[in-house]
Amino acid sequence: IIRDQEALMERIKTTETQLSHERSQNHSAYEQETQRYQSERKEQLKREIALLKQKRKERLISEKAFANEKKMAKLASRDDIHARVNSHPVKLLEEELRNLRHRLKTDKRLALKVLESDISDVRRKTPVETQERIPWRSFVSIPLPGVGQLLNGQWQKGILFLFASLFIYLVAIPYSLGYGNYQGTGLSGLVTLAEGGARLHRSIIFMVEGIIAIFLLIFTAALILISFRDVYTTEKKKMQGIRPFTWFESRQTMEEKGFPYLVSLPALIVIVFIVLVPIMTTILISFTNMDPQHQSKFTWIGLANYKLIALGQGIAGSAFWLILGWTLIWTVGATTLAIAIGFFLSLLVNQERLKGKKFFRTVFLLPWAVPAFITIMFFSIMVSSTGPITQILRALTGQIINIKNSSLLTRIFLIFLQGWLGSAYIFLLSTGVLQGIPSDLYEAAEIDGATSWQKTMRITVPLILFQTAPLLVGQYTFNFNNFSIIFLFNQGGPFNPTLYGNLAGSTDILISYIYKLTIQNQYQGVGAAITIVISVVLMFIAWLGYRNTKAFKEEKL
């Protein structure tokens, strides 16, 4: 390696000498020749473009072909001129010198890496002697991460952990004590919730800043633990005769094993502040009395909100079980209907005897292609008191049938409407699976004497369910929280204050009920409690559904 580098340096010196010599020479003749070549090449380009225009005028080539040929001619002319200019002796030597210097730099870096690797191998084979029997440095690093690494002679790693110590003592701990808070008092703000504070202080801000303080302390504990384990492991190995890692070895280990963690760290920080902080805030609000009378300042009330929900009491809890029952009926009915329609349509379109398959596929995908907002509002207008469907029903029956004023009719119509809207997605999934099923399976079934019904139930349905079961479970969870169709169609109505009170309608599902509680009526405490309950139940049901699907039990067919 050293000989190669010496040869490279000699070549660099020779090239530099040649370059100095060429720069001192008079290249006016070459430059004039280059300018003449540029002029001739530009004239040639003009002739080529003129010829192309003539061909276009005579309609020998299309407009697109003319544009492409013109573009290619310009690129060729530019490349020729560029090559001519760069063929200047000075330019060639400058390019060669740049390449040689880059090669020397790369070779030096590679040689240094090889040397450090060889040194590391020698160090690994050479034991170290120590009289220590207690890893005391690791305990010193607990209050101040980085000190233990410095005591072990790992200077670069120690400096990195000292930056972590700066974060701990200048950011995390002061913020947790209330310094730098917007209004809150750090962790203590979670306890007081602005009780006894200024008139403009808000409990929600105290709560959020307290939650942020908790996560900062979790980061602090993680940094201290990582530093402690690093120093402790190094000391234990040292007691066994293994030398501490050099910075080269630490960096190499970090690149090989720690790279996934380093890449994931920014995403983890974003997840904490965008996902975990709101979730924690919702959970904590469910234990408070945040309602229209306690918007600015609220207090802890324990499990009172959950008790109201479980017993069906209070202004919000009285309608909970009725709405939960309808939500379950809606979820099962609308989703199952959508799956049945989508699956039936996919079987129909994939029949070999059917003509015009492209047309039918386009029609069946329209509910998915057209924004659901437009479809929902269209049908809402159609079944209004003055809508065309209402008028047609009146003409046919001689009675006024107002669907939006009847709880039963509205619920039935919503289930059928969502069945139609959701069928397009199921149709698309099933069609993709059907087209991927080998025809050999059906041919073998026919040889065994299977009927069309048996082929469908024994081959088609199991294969479709195997590949789409997780997505079908997702459809049930989606419709459980399908806010848009319920709210846009009739805003959860018709309203029945006798059964549902003044906060909910007879077709409200839990998600729309939570919206009315929290956004429209400001019962955030009870709304958060309902949110937590349905989230836990829904996650558990979804987990059971995913766990019991063959697609998750088996890796392949």
Per-residue pLDDT tens listing for the chain (557 residues): 567 777 878 888 888 888 788 778 777 877 888 888 889 889 999 999 999 888 888 888 888 888 899 899 999 989 888 888 888 788 888 888 888 888 888 888 877 777 777 777 776 667 777 777 788 888 888 999 999 888 888 888 889 999 999 999 999 999 999 998 888 888 998 988 988 878 888 999 999 999 999 999 999 999 999 999 988 988 888 877 777 777 777 777 777 777 777 788 888 888 888 899 999 999 999 999 999 998 899 999 999 999 999 888 887 777 899 999 999 999 999 999 999 999 988 888 887 777 777 888 888 888 888 888 899 999 999 998 888 998 998 888 888 888 999 999 999 999 999 999 999 999 988 888 888 888 888 888 888 888 888 888 888 888 888 888 888 888 998 999 999 999 999 999 898 888 888 888 999 999 999 999 999 899 999 999 999 998 998 888 888 777 766 655 554 43
Domain ranges across the chain = 2-122, 136-285, 304-553
| Side-chain half-sphere exposure of 454, counting CA atoms within 13 A | 11
Burial 57-92 (b: 16+ CB within 10 A, else e): eeeeeeeeebeebbeebeeebeeebeeeeeeeeeee
Cβ burial, residue 315 (10 Å; 0-12/13-18/19+): middle
The answer, yes or no, to whether the previous bond of 143 is cis (omega within 30 of 0) is no
Kind and range of the H or E run holding 146? none
Both tokens of residue 91?
């330019």
**Between the CA of residue 139 and those of 149, 224, 231, 394, 427, what are the distances in Å?**
11, 10, 9, 85, 63
This prediction has a pTM of: 0.73
Q: Given CA atoms 448, 452, 454, 455 in this order, what sign does their dihedral have?
A: positive
CB 219 within 8 A of CB 172: yes
What does each C-alpha distance from 240 to 152, 228, 243, 255 come to in angstroms?
A: 15, 18, 9, 26
With CA atoms as reference, report the closest residue to 535 among 280, 326, 299, 334: 280
Segments of 153-259 assigned E as strands: none
Task: Give the gyration radius of the chain's Cα atoms.
Answer: 37
The count of residues in the chain is 557
Fold (topology level) of 304-553: MetI-like fold (1.10.3720)
Place of tokens 């801000």: 205
Structure tokens at 97: 């010198």
Number of Cβ within 10 Å of residue 203's Cβ equals 25
What single DSSP character describes residue 288?
B
Q: How far is it, in rounded angstroms, from Cα 279 to Cα 482?
A: 20
**Which of 306, 289, 304, 305 minimizes the C-alpha distance to 195?**
289
